[in-house]
Chain A
Amino acid sequence: MTEASTKPLQTVLGEFKNISPELTQAFIFTRDGKIIAGDEECIAVARAKKLADAYDQIATQATFIGGIENLTIHGVSTQLGINSTNSRYLATISSRAADEKMIKALTCVIVPTIIELVDQTSPAESECSVIDPGQSEVNSDKEVVQVPQESAPAEQISIAPTFSSEHVFPKPPVNQFMVEKIGGLLVASDVVRVDADVVEKWSDLYGDTQILLVNIETLEGKSAMCKFRPIREADGKAKGIIQIPERILQTLRTCDGKLVMVKPVIPVVLEEQN
């Protein structure tokens, strides 16, 4: 996994201690013992590998209980948790005083959702290192909704590309925003407003390439593509915010205050045919 794809996991694990201070350690590792998020010094590769082995041995015999959704081990003063999502393992160590429901929400809901999201946004990385240009355009099981445009839709969406050279661009960065609902007579119902600093970073990253659309994805996996414009607020209130009109909120089945992942849609450049 690249740094870009492990960053959301790293960020979430970093937040664990703020949400539940009783949670002392959390790390995500792979079958071969590689730590992909969390404190790398917390466990050696060989030990992480043994952890994965031990977990898998239980999992192979757990078919009659419907597989393992959650494994918790209680020591005298500590409790350990191991969960597995898409061949990645999350291990947590917390004190017995920790709120069991909170820990479960973090380990069984939040992290697996983010792992799924990371995999969806970079499926090629999770499966293999060779990117097939044809396959990179394939949309897996993800439900993607194209928000109906009030005006004429952006050109690049309707054109069937003969060759995608999207791979020559840097991978679209994924940003997490908090949803703020907007409304009013002057608000276009098909345009979202994104933190101007983030939009500027996109412009720096892609230079002359004009970015007209963003892809918004909820933590539940609903996604929509729509036009955007930067929020111009001098007092910094717009930091980490995406303002979404009611119609798109309904499409995404999300609401005010929820978190969404947003990435710019990089236009597909058609190769000139000689």
Chain B
Amino acid sequence: MTKNANANHTETALTDIVVVTTADNEDPAFASLGASLAEIRKMDGVLGYIIRSNVSAVLDLAKNDEISQYALFSYQLDQSSMEIAKQLSVAEIESALVEGSSLKVLLMKIGENKISVFMEKNANHSAIIKRILI
């Protein structure tokens, strides 16, 4: 227990990327998705992203002071999407898209990893999905 707690650490780099990890050795799929998301982050209208696996999470958001709000929303979207899919007898979710009047959020599940991309309403989410699935 103490060992796990010691292994947890948070880094805030100059690039505003927050990394939370409990493992020294990153999953290669997680690292690869992280690299893709870093590229997606540069696309027009993309405000930030959260990627999390069972042991690690990376957050890169334009508004650092709203990290908790974005993270909570990402978690809720994940949980509620699963519930909705379950009630409508859909076994597996690949992605979910929530469109608000000002922003939209794309949630994707790639294996054990869950990705949330926050973007402006006019951003091309289809291009982001393609880019992630490459």
Residues of A within 8 A of B (CB): 43, 47-48, 50-51, 53-55, 57-58, 61-62, 64-76, 78, 80, 82, 91, 93
Contact = CB atoms under 8 A, between A and B. Distances in A.
A29 B27 CA distance: 43
Contacts of B87: 43, 47-48, 50-51, 54
A71 B94 contact: no
A90 to B, nearest CB: 13
Contact of A76 (B69, B77, B94, B96): B94
Interface string B59-86: 0000000100110110011011101110
Contacts of B94: 74-76
A51 to B, nearest CB: 5
B15 interface: no
Contact of A65 (B81, B83, B92, B100): B100
Interface of B: 66, 69-70, 72-73, 76-77, 79-81, 83-85, 87-88, 90-105, 118
Given A54-B80, A54-B84, A80 B90 contact: yes
B100 A68 contact: yes
A53 B83 CA distance: 9
Contacts of B66: 64
Contacts of A73: 81, 84-85, 90, 93, 95-96
A80 B76 CA distance: 17
A51 B88 contact: yes
B73 A61 contact: yes
A66 B100 CA distance: 5
A53 B72 CA distance: 17
A176 B98 CA distance: 33
12 contacts: A51-B83, A51-B88, A54-B80, A54-B84, A65-B99, A66-B103, A70-B99, A74-B96, A74-B97, A76-B92, A76-B94, A82-B84
A47 B87 CA distance: 6
Residue among B90, B98, B104, B105 facing the most chain A CB atoms (10 A cut-off): B98
Contacts of B84: 51, 54-55, 71, 73, 80, 82
Classify the interface of chain A: helix, strand, loop or mixed.
mixed
Contacts of A51: 83-84, 87-88
Contacts of A65: 73, 98-105, 118
B129 to A, nearest CB: 9
A80 B85 contact: yes
Nearest to A49: B87
Contacts of A43: 87-88
Given A54-B81, A68-B99, 15 more contacts: A43-B87, A50-B87, A53-B83, A54-B83, A61-B69, A65-B99, A65-B118, A66-B101, A66-B103, A68-B98, A68-B100, A73-B90, A74-B97, A76-B92, A76-B94
B66 to A, nearest CB: 7
Nearest to B84: A54
A110 to B, nearest CB: 17
A67 B91 contact: no
B76 A57 contact: yes
Residue among B88, B94, B105 facing the most chain A CB atoms (10 A cut-off): B88
B110 to A, nearest CB: 13
Contact of B90 (A47, A67, A78, A82): A78
Contacts of B83: 50-51, 53-54
B95 A74 contact: yes
Contacts of A50: 83, 87
